[in-house]
Amino acid sequence: MTTDSIWREAFVNWPASIPRRGIVLSTLNEATPFKGFMVKNDVLLLERTNPDPVGTRFVLLTFDDIHAVKFAEPLKESVFTAAGYVGKLSKA
């Protein structure tokens, strides 16, 4: 499975228990905070939390441009295990 297909699957099958917001870090090391998203084929449409300095509110990027996704919301271990992750998180 390629990296782009892993990211595509993550967004297409986004768990309902995780709010559809976070931060996407691109392969160019650009952080894009988002409050919503849509998927079309191999392209991800992100709705920015706030417009960037030039006023853009939406970003289109391909899944192979994604390096990482960060979650800003406090989440419980059960949310991740329901999404198929295994292991344990710290209790602190």
For the chain, list the domains and their CATH numbers. 3-82 (2.30.30)
8 Å CB contact between 77 and 91 = no
Q: Region 67-89: what's the mean pLDDT?
A: 90
Q: Which of 18, 8, 10, 12 is nearest to 65 (CA)?
A: 8
**Residues paired with 36 in a beta bridge:** 47
Distance between CA atoms of residues 84 and 38, nearest Å: 22
Which pLDDT value is given to residue 84? 86
How much of the chain, in percent, has pLDDT values that exceed 70? Answer: 99
pLDDT digits (tens, 9 = 90+) for 44-56: 999 999 998 999 9
Give the DSSP letter of residue 73: S
